[in-house]
């Protein structure tokens, strides 16, 4: 199925917003700490049920999809017309935003995945031999920060897509102008009246 630039932009926006919302909800639903239940030389942690881990992984997966779609949308051959990467990155602005999009996506992935794995680790290990263990959860604020960076990455990919559209327009205009110039030169060579008259005079002489 052939995609349009509007469709790739909508896909990038959808998964970027999905990653942002899941990350924010996961941050808000995460408990501050569990309830320690003391025993003989140990502590059993009781955590309330919350969707933090599931939402964290969904947010991370949506971020990966956003990054893949955003990257592919920049190089996708719309209308079956591809453009060399050199023409795309001729503009320094495009190169800067492209690198920023990758950097924010990588940082967002780290901030989403780290607390999610940490929270899963805490929930899976509820028995501790340290009687002073306070039953902590993942560090507060990291998931929320990752969610906002995920949204930023989505916006940067959309900016890259707009810059790629401008680069494509400029590139194909240059190609069409060069093709018109070549056709004009061919027509002038084939139908040069001065050249034909000169040949006639040369043959008469």
Convert the chain into a string of H (helix), E (strand) and C (coil).
CCCCHHHHHHHHHHHHHHHHHHHHHHHHHCCCECEEEECCCCEEEECCCCCHHHHHHHHHHHHHHHHHHHHHHHHCCHHHCCCCHHHHCCCHHHHHHHHHHHHHHHHHHHHHHHHHHHHHHHHHCCEECCCCCCCECCCCCHHHHHHHHHHHHHHHHHHHHHHHHHHHHHHHHHHHHHHHHHHHHHHHHHCCHHHHHHHHHHHHC
184 part of a folded domain = no
- pLDDT for 199: 44
88 part of a folded domain = yes
35 part of a folded domain = yes
Burial class (CB in 10 A: 0-12, 13-18, 19+), 170: middle
56 part of a folded domain = yes
108 part of a folded domain = yes
The total number of structural domains in the chain stands at 1
Q: In this structure, are residues 89 and 98 in contact, taking their beta carbons and an 8 Å threshold?
A: yes
Provide the domain limits for residue 71: 5-167
97 part of a folded domain = yes
130 part of a folded domain = yes
151 part of a folded domain = yes
Return the sign of the alpha-carbon dihedral for residues 88, 92, 97, 98: positive
Q: Give the tokens for residue 3.
A: 């995609």
The tens place of each residue's pLDDT in the chain, 205 residues long, gives 688 889 999 999 999 999 999 999 999 999 888 888 888 888 999 988 889 999 999 999 999 999 999 999 999 988 888 888 888 888 899 999 999 999 999 999 999 999 999 999 998 888 988 888 888 998 999 999 999 999 999 999 999 999 999 998 888 888 777 766 555 555 555 545 544 444 444 444 4
- pLDDT for 203: 45
The CA distances from residue 195 to 127, 149, 182, 186, 198, in Å, are 98, 68, 19, 14, 5
- Residue partners of 113: CB distance under 8 A and separation at least 6: 56, 60
Q: In this structure, are residues 121 and 143 in contact, taking their beta carbons and an 8 Å threshold?
A: no
């Amino acid at each position: 199925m052939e995609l349009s630039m509007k469709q790739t932009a909508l896909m990038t926006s959808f998964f970027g917003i999905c990653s942002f919302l899941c990350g924010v909800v996961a941050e808000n639903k995460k408990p501050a700490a569990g309830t320690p239940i003391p025993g003989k030389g140990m502590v059993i942690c009781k955590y309330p049920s919350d969707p933090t881990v599931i939402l964290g992984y969904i947010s991370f997966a949506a971020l990966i999809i956003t990054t893949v779609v955003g990257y592919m949308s920049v190089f996708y051959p719309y209308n079956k017309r591809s453009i060399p990467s050199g023409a795309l990155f001729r503009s320094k602005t495009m190169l800067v935003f492209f690198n920023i999009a990758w950097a924010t996506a990588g940082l967002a992935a780290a901030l989403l995945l780290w607390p999610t794995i940490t929270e899963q680790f805490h929930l899976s290990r509820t028995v501790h031999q340290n009687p002073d263990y306070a039953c902590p959860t993942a560090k507060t604020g990291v998931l929320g920060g990752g969610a906002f960076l995920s949204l930023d990455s989505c916006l940067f990919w959309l900016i890259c897509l707009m810059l790629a559209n401008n680069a494509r327009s400029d590139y194909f205009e240059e190609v069409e102008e060069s093709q018109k110039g070549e056709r004009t030169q061919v027509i002038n060579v084939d139908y040069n009246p001065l050249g034909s008259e000169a040949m006639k005079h040369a043959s008469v002489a």
